[in-house]
A = this chain, B = another copy of it.
Amino acid sequence: MITDVERLIQLLAKLPGLGPRSARRAVLDMIKRPEANMRPLARALLEVADSIKTCAVCHNIDTHSPCGICQDPRRPQDALCVVADVADLWALERARAFRGQYHVLGGTLSAMEGRGPEQLNIDSLLRRLHEAVERARPVREVILALGATVEGQTTLHYLQDRLVSFDCEVSVLAQGLPVGGELDYLDDGTLTLALQARRRYGQN
Report A's interface with B, CB cutoff 8 A. 1-2, 4-5, 7-8, 11-12, 14-18, 22, 24-31, 34-35, 37-49, 51-52, 61-63, 68, 85-87, 90, 93
Contacts and interface: CB of A to CB of B under 8 A. Distances in A.
Contacts of A85: 28
Contacts of A24: 87, 90
A14 B25 CA distance: 12
A113 to B, nearest CB: 15
Contact of A52 (B5, B37, B41, B93): B5
A49 B42 contact: yes
A42 B46 contact: yes
B93 A28 contact: no
Contacts of A5: 48, 52, 61
A62 to B, nearest CB: 6
Contacts of A86: 28, 31
A22 B18 contact: yes
A29 B15 contact: yes
Contacts of A45: 8, 30, 38-39, 41-42, 45
